[in-house]
Amino acid sequence: MIGTVLGMVGKEVILKGYAQDFDSAIDSMQFSSDLGQTWTEYPVNHVNEDSNVNWEYSFVPEQVGRYEILIRAVDRNGAVTPEPAHAYVDVREDVEL
């Protein structure tokens, strides 16, 4: 689980986490900011079945509000995480971080 992250309009927000697939090596990580309608995929290199994948995702919010980012892993066989993780970003005009 990823706790709620605070962000500021126009400033880069970085989310970090890890994933592991116990049966197959993870081939890529996918991220969605539109509730899963579209996914952005980033390949993962040099991972075996026993490795955690440390991932990082960044974006620059353009407006105030709550953003929900979905995160899922894709293994070497093309199978995706059955239920994506959810990360929430609360964005304000003026936030002291």
CA–CA separation, 43 and 1 (whole Å): 22
What is the reported pLDDT for 2?
A: 77
Share above pLDDT 70 across residues of the chain, in percent, rounded to a whole number: 95
What is the reported pLDDT for 14?
A: 94
Q: Are strands 5-8 and 85-92 parallel, antiparallel or unpaired?
A: parallel
pTM, two decimal places = 0.85
Are the beta carbons of 53 and 44 closer than 8 angstroms? yes
Average pLDDT over every residue of 47-71? 89
Average pLDDT over every residue of 73-82? 90
Average pLDDT over every residue of 23-50? 87
Please give the mean pLDDT across all residues of the chain: 89
**β-strand partners of 31:** 40, 71
Burial grade of 67 (CB within 10 A; 0-12, 13-18, 19 or more):
middle
